[in-house]
Chains A and B, each alone.
Chain A
Amino acid sequence: MIGDVYFLERSKLQAVLDELAGAEYELIGPRVDQEAIVYDRIERVEDLPQGWTDEQSPGHYRLKRSEDEALFSYVIGPHSWKKYLFPPLVNVMSSRREADGWTMKDELIEPKRFALIGVRACELAAIAVQDRVFNSDAYVDPVYAKRRENLFIVAVNCTQAAATCFCTSMGTGPRCSSGFDLALTELPEGFVVEVGSSAGQELVRGLGLGQATELNLQVAESRRQIAVTQITRKLDTDGLRDKLLSRLEHPQWDNVAERCLSCANCTMVCPTCFCSSVDDVTDLTNDEVVRQRRWDSCFNFDFSHISGGPVRYQTRSRYRQWLTHKLATWIDQFGTSGCVGCGRCITWCPVGIDMTQEVAAICSDVERS
């Protein structure tokens, strides 16, 4: 049943992967690549980042050996799962020049079925945010909707946190509470497995797992508690929307604009940022044209271009757009904050701009109007 808790011996994790692969899911999970933990295709437990952890602070990320041989003792890396649901590059339509002129056709293809292994609580929240952006309105993004429909999610509860984490402020973690098929908490000898869906239940039944013991549950809870106590970063969300929108001319926007490179890193690593553009890609004869949607960013100079030039022609206005959208106008648009507190924008900012500090600086002067 949903909510049942089982114990999975570490030696049986491969069986979970095999079951999913057998059900024609493409497995995506964490692995070490170019000195970071990224999300990519995996097949075997050995592909997972066993014995690796990460060290994060503003503008800083390093992989380190962990003290144990755990598979999930890292926090999060530069990738987010959005690249599988909202692909960075996807063909949307094509044109071909024929005798009587152009013909145009649909290029959306049936996507693969993905099983995501190792989704953290903040990342489940990010998927829920993008569900609202792409999949819950009169205008549904068919690219996202198709991928989302066939998704299987194996979540993993955090048992440690990074210095950049602030999910507790955003109410998104560190405990996985919903939005998964299975949720694991890693113990030295195996995993406590929580069932979150009937598909998850079916998979567990096939493996013949036993119930978790009281001791298993206690150890799992104490390990999850470590993450809770390690999270010290805070973002005060009380009245945040109104505070930000009433401070659109605050001098701190100029201050941060002096440091911000407008490089768009924060939007690329953000698990909820959804902006895109569509470009034409032609063959050499210019007779075959494919339109490709790619990730774009409100930090790019020509993002807001209109006939008279870009609307947001200064870094100040672009940073202000990003932050006020993420934390304020997003709420008007989608009924939720656009921030899940994962801290990626802080870690991967090349100059270490910390949005929690920028918000504090903008909002501290409460008398200001």
Chain B
Amino acid sequence: MTTTQDEAQIVVNPWLARTAVIEAIRPEIEAVATFRLKFTDSLLAEQYRFRPGQFNMLYVPGCGESAISLSGSPTLNGHHLVHTIRFVGRVTEAISNLRVGDRVGVRGPFGSAWPIDCCKGRDVIIIAGGIGLAPLRPAIYSFMENRSDFGRIVLLYGARSPELLLYADELDSWRAGGIEVQLTVDQADDSWQGAVGVVPLILDRLAGLKPDQTEVMMCGPEVMMHYCAQSAMKRNIPKRSIGLSIERNMQCAVGLCGHCQLGSVFVCRQGPVFRYDAIESLLRVRDF
């Protein structure tokens, strides 16, 4: 009898991480690698699903947690728990020391997703800066999987230098899958044949743009996204058709801890993917 009562009172513990084992590690660019994980609980491994743009909290015991976007395929079995991680802080540096077979904790998925369904029958401009390509890759996979559902799809991707272009060896398969890929770097080397300069400049010059039929998705440094939004609007793309993913400190990921607030928004819940017109005024205020 007591047991029944206790069971009825169980409330989900939002801070409880579940163990996952590292199945593969793929070095990408400098200080960035992609980890493929699998939940040790086979039922959880079977049932886990996410939508492009969402994130997990990855946990290294003794070190802490970090919010990391999902960067694998949302539909390919065994490839749901894929994270491309830049080793930049305490937790991610601890992750960089882990090996295949080691375990981490995972909570998720959390947050909002890229509006893939809204893109059906429309053109899409995907804009990424640096590591910002990682949370967009699941969207790219989704587009390629049902390529005929969408119009023209363009990826505008910028990095500081050619050797810092993420997923460089995949770009050809994306081109083959019907994605126009345009690259730019801040600083070229002798071998670089592509554009030089910041991402908004290639958006300014993008030919054949149909503003009424276009959705924009962007992720990268806030300053890049700001100027890309300005450029898109200059080219008559409406604000409501511009989506962006932003970064804030996350601890609980369920709107209880307060860290990720941006004005009245909890980025972990209403975000990280927003419509530009929903947060434009907030992004304009310096260090708000």
Contacts and interface: CB of A to CB of B under 8 A. Distances in A.
A248 B288 contact: yes
B285 interface: yes
Interface stretch (A119-127, A140-148, A347-355): A140-148
Chain A's interface size range is: 35 or more
A234 interface: no
B86 A108 contact: no
Interface stretch (A31-39, A58-66, A168-176, A274-282): A274-282
B86, B263, B266, B286 — most chain A CB neighbours (10 Å): B263
Contact of A307 (B14, B21, B86, B255): B86
B285 A248 contact: yes
A160 interface: no
Interface string B15-28: 11111010000000
B14 to A, nearest CB: 7
Interface in B228-258: 247-249, 251-252, 254-258
Contacts of B263: 245, 324, 329, 332
A134 B105 contact: no
A101 B257 contact: no
B12 interface: yes
A368 to B, nearest CB: 16
A317 interface: yes
Interface in A268-327: 274-280, 282, 286, 289, 291, 293, 296, 298, 303-308, 311-314, 317, 320-321, 324-325
A106 B287 contact: no
A278 B14 CA distance: 12
B52 to A, nearest CB: 21
B256 A134 contact: yes
B15 A95 contact: no
Interface string B75-96: 0000000000010110000000
A141 B256 contact: yes
A264 interface: no
Nearest to B11: A142
A104 interface: yes
Given A289-B62, A329-B263, A142 B12 contact: yes
Contact of A313 (B11, B247, B287): B287
Given A93-B17, A95-B61, 15 more contacts: A102-B104, A104-B105, A106-B13, A108-B13, A141-B14, A276-B251, A278-B15, A278-B257, A289-B62, A296-B257, A306-B248, A311-B248, A317-B287, A325-B261, A333-B266
Interface of B: 9, 11-19, 21, 61-65, 86, 88-89, 101-105, 221, 247-249, 251-252, 254-259, 261, 263-264, 266, 269, 285-288
Interface of A: 92-93, 95, 97, 101-106, 108, 133-134, 137, 139-142, 145-146, 245, 248-249, 274-280, 282, 286, 289, 291, 293, 296, 298, 303-308, 311-314, 317, 320-321, 324-325, 328-329, 332-333
